Amino acid sequence: YVTRDGVASNSGADGANAKEVQAALSNAHGANCTESRLKQGTYTSASGYRFARTLVMQGGYTGADANARSVDASLTVLTSTGSDGPVLDINNISPNSPSAALGRDTAVKNLTIAGGNNQAALSFNGNGGGLRCISRGGKCNLTLRALIIRDNTAKGAGGGIPLEGVG
């Protein structure tokens, strides 16, 4: 479970032990966790959010209990104030990432992704301001459902979403 005021070292098991977003996405809560549930609200990062593993990332959770949520994508917003990459980067081709393609169960649901400004020439030619998926083996196995992608820009391709496979 993830909240805006979550703590990186928390377990993420429930609202009382919520993690912060990047810690949850980075698998800091265990290899067996395949879902990150974000409580409603706006999450702002100076450098965006990144993950490189099979994961379901869902917004809209109310905090009333672990399963209470809304599918209204406008209630959970990810945004970035930086200009060196996308708001949400699903990327497993860096040296520290797994060598296999992302699993078929990787999904992003019930979120707004807004305010990305990728102007970094070294960040895959500045491609992707909102959400970017780059995967080994040319397979970006990604499900996108109930998303709002708005107000994102990129120096290269795909201000909102470029999907790229790397060989």
Question: Which residue carries 């265990």 as its tokens?
Answer: 30
The alpha helices in the chain, defined as continuous H runs, are 21-25
Of the pLDDT bands very low, low, confident and very high (cuts 50, 70, 90), residue 95 is very low
Contact 159, 152 (CB under 8 A): yes
Q: How far apart are CA 35 and CA 48, in angstroms?
A: 19
Tens digits of per-residue pLDDT, 25-42? 876 445 567 888 999 999
Residues 6+ apart with CB under 8 A from 147: 73, 108, 109, 110, 111, 112, 113, 131
